[in-house]
């Protein structure tokens, strides 16, 4: 595949689909056979690419996908994904016919929502729903046994409303202290125990819980961050029972190289001053790509050497101090490896004082994603240019 014809700026992310597949294979080997994997591909698969990750996850054994919003589920349907898709976030009751027609499973947690849905749902429709219990996350979900009983009655009296699943979400599964986790788990079990009929799919665990707390697996787990090769938190990283490989890397090519004299300045505000004669390279990536201004000072790899970003990061470009003169077109790796050096997503998260989840998510759609399998480019997504464009 000739990538040059599909994007025209030398900045791109590479997503190694083999790594995602291997991570999932490792994870499922660690789970028992009767536990289904729901692959969480919301937010464009944490910035990696929804369709490509969904395909690989399903191939590696996931039986269902999960997204945050109906738009994300419909986008996957439009791209040809036919597997069950669960919407984890809130959907509007007015949209239930669209969900039912597209075979999209929605999350429900309000009696009034169900009643509204009942009123407008077509006569012969079947709407699959998962009931969300708030056991302590404080985000979405019913909190009382009274609510659960009332919702159950609504399901029982209307065959169009199919209670396909029930779930909760843990607030502290990625911490070493499991006191709060156990409280949530026991509240969930209490709720399950008062139901007349348990729905077919019962799930509570995100990546951290699925790997660290076997007692919370029930018959399905929602796997997100570890599928992408990242640990759910720095604290539990050393305890994880699987070896993970990061799938996302970020690269740019130096578009201009110059020598600065001592005292010469770089970028807006002229805040960087060359301390001596130095070589400087310009990279076509900036804060509009998600490489935000807080990353000033962060190193990138050039010719296998760590090279710091100097001066303020601009909207579309930034400058790096080079180890020595290198040719225009030299690849700079912002996330990933060159020779013996590597810059992990965790290093960037640490610099930004945030979690690794946020890093690939904030690399904007302007950065094309190149999909790699067996070291070769197999497909590419560049939302700026239609796939069918020919240049």
Ligand X SMILES: Cc1ncc(COP(=O)(O)O)c(C=O)c1O
User: What are the residues binding ligand X (CB under 6 A)?
Assistant: 40, 88, 169, 206-208, 222-225, 232
- Cα separation, 22 vs 199, in Å, equals 31
Spot the catalytic one: 42, 228, 272, 287.
42
Q: Which is nearer to ligand X, 206 or 267 (CB)?
A: 206
Q: Which is nearer to ligand X, 40 or 343 (CB)?
A: 40
Q: Which is nearer to ligand X, 61 or 308 (CB)?
A: 61
Closest alpha carbon to 346 in 244, 233, 252, 239: 233
What's the closest the beta carbon of residue 252 comes to ligand X, in angstroms? 27
Q: Which is nearer to ligand X, 267 or 356 (CB)?
A: 356
Those residues whose C-beta lies under 8 Å from the C-beta of residue 154, and which sit 6 or more positions away, are 111, 114, 115, 118, 161
Closest alpha carbon to 307 in 257, 270, 263: 257
Strands (E), 284-350: 299-302, 305-310, 318-322, 331-338, 341-343
For residue 386, the SS3 value is coil
Catalytic status, residue 324? no
Q: Which is nearer to ligand X, 191 or 295 (CB)?
A: 191
What's the closest the beta carbon of residue 142 comes to ligand X, in angstroms? 15
What's the closest the beta carbon of residue 100 comes to ligand X, in angstroms? 22
Closest alpha carbon to 194 in 144, 145, 147: 145
Any idea of the CA torsion for 46, 48, 52, 54, to the nearest 10 degrees?
Answer: -20
Catalytic status, residue 46? no
Q: Which is nearer to ligand X, 207 or 307 (CB)?
A: 207
Instruction: Give the pair of three-digit tokens for residue 348.
Output: 């960037």
- Cα separation, 16 vs 376, in Å, equals 9
What's the closest the beta carbon of residue 169 comes to ligand X, in angstroms? 4
- Burial state string for 337-373 with b = 16 or more CB within 10 A and e = fewer than 16: ebeeeebbbbebbebeeebbbebbbbbeebbbbbbbb
Residue nearest to ligand X (CB): 224
Spot the catalytic one: 235, 268, 277, 324.
268
Strand partners for 251? 12, 333
* 315 known ligand binder: yes
Q: Are 335 and 249 in contact (CB under 8 A)?
A: yes
What's the closest the beta carbon of residue 16 comes to ligand X, in angstroms? 18
- Please give the annotated binding residues for substrate, written as ranges: 139, 315
Catalytic residues: 42, 268
Binding-site residues sit at 139, 315
């Amino acid at each position: 595949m000739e990538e040059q014809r599909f994007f025209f700026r030398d900045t791109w992310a590479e997503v190694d689909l083999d790594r995602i597949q291997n991570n999932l294979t490792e994870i499922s080997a660690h789970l028992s056979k009767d536990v289904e994997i729901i692959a969480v591909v919301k937010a464009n698969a944490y910035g990696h690419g929804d369709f490509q990750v969904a395909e690989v996850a399903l191939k590696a054994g996931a039986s269902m996908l999960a997204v945050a919003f109906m738009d994300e589920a419909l986008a996957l349907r439009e791209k040809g994904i036919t597997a069950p898709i669960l919407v984890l976030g809130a959907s509007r009751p007015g949209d239930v016919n669209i969900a039912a027609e597209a075979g999209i499973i929605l999350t429900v947690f309000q009696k009034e929502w169900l009643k509204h849905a009942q009123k407008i749902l077509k006569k012969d429709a079947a709407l699959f729903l998962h009931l969300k219990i708030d056991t302590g996350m404080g985000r979405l979900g019913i909190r009382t046994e009274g609510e659960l009983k009332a919702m159950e009655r609504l399901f029982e009296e209307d065959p169009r409303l199919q209670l396909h699943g029930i779930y909760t979400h843990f607030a502290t599964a990625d911490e070493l202290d499991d006191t709060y986790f156990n409280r949530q788990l026991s509240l969930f079990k209490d709720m399950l125990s008062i139901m007349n009929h348990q729905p077919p799919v019962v799930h509570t665990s995100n990546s951290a819980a699925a790997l660290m707390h076997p007692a919370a697996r029930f018959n399905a787990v929602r796997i997100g961050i570890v599928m992408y090769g990242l640990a759910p938190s720095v604290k539990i990283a050393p305890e994880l029972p699987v070896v993970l490989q990061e799938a996302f890397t970020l690269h740019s090519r130096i578009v201009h190289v110059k020598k600065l004299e001592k005292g010469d300045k770089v970028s807006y505000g002229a805040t960087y001053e060359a301390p001596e004669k130095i070589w400087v390279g310009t990279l076509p990536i900036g804060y509009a790509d998600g490489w935000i201004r807080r990353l000033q000072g962060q190193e990138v790899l050039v010719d296998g050497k760590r090279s710091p970003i100097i001066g303020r990061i601009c909207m579309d470009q930034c400058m790096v101090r080079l180890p020595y003169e290198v040719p225009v077109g030299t690849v700079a790796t912002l996330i990933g490896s060159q020779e013996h050096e590597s810059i992990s997503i965790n290093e960037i998260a640490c610099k930004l004082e945030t979690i690794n989840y946020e890093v690939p998510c904030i690399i904007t759609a302007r950065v094309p994603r190149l999909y790699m399998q067996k070291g070769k480019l197999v497909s590419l997504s560049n939302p700026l240019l239609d796939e069918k464009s020919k240049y």
